[in-house]
Amino acid sequence: MRKIELEIVALSHSITQTHSYAVVMGEVNGLRRLPIVIGGFEAQAIAVALEKMQPSRPLTHDLMKNFMSAFNVDLIEIIISDLQEGIFYSKLVCVSEHDTVEIDSRTSDALALAVRFGCPIYTYENILDSAGILMEDTAKKKKGSVETAAPANSSREDLRSMSIEELNNLLGEVLEQEDYIRAISIRDEIASRKK
C-alpha cells in the first residue's frame, strides 16, 4: 500500500469527548485532514515538543527518546496503520546498526515521539478514506503553522481582560502545574501584546 505523509496541523480540545483532546493531522500537499482523539497527558506531551518547551524534568516521551538514543536506536517514521471501531493503531519504525523493527504503539504516543525525533508520519489511503475530512482549498493552512486552541477555562476573551503582570503570574502558575496546553495560549497572548 502507498503511504501518505501527514503533518500535525492543529491540537485542541475534543468537541465530542470531555477531558480529551484532538490532534488534527493534515495530508502533506493535500486537502484531507485526519482528526484523532487523544488524552490530556499525550496532548501536553505533543504540545511541549511542538512549542520546544523545556520542562524542568524529562517527560515520559523525552525519557523514551533519551533511552533510544543511548542505545543507538533511531525512530525513522511512524505509520498510522489501522483503524478499528474508531481506534487508530500505529507502528514505530525503528532502526539500529543491525536491524529495522516495527513496534506497535498507541497513536498518541507515536505522535509524541515523532515530534521529538522529527521523523515523518504516514498513513494509508483506506484510513484517510474512512476517517478523513476533505477541507476547502481556501482553508488550507500554511505549512509549518500549528494551531493550538486554548481550553475553555482560558478563553481568549478571559486572557485579553488580564494585564501583562497578571498574564505573567498565570503563566508561572500553569507551568508549575505542567499544564503546557494552557501555557501556550497565555504565552501567545503575551507575545501578541508585545508586537
Burial class (CB in 10 A: 0-12, 13-18, 19+), 107: buried
Query: For the chain, which residues make up each domain, given as ranges?
Result: 3-149, 150-195
| Top CATH class, 3-149 | alpha beta
Three-state secondary-structure class, residue 45: helix
Between the alpha carbon of residue 187 and those of residues 22, 29, 101, 109, 182, the distances in Å are 21, 30, 39, 25, 9
Closest CA to 132 of 23, 37, 33: 33
CA–CA separation, 59 and 177 (whole Å):
13
Residue-level pLDDT at 140: 44
Per-residue pLDDT of the chain (195 residues; tens, 9 = 90+): 899 999 999 887 755 566 778 898 999 999 898 888 898 889 989 999 998 888 888 889 999 999 999 999 999 999 999 999 889 999 999 999 999 999 999 999 999 999 999 999 999 999 998 888 877 654 444 444 454 443 434 456 688 899 989 988 888 787 666 565 676 678 778 878 876
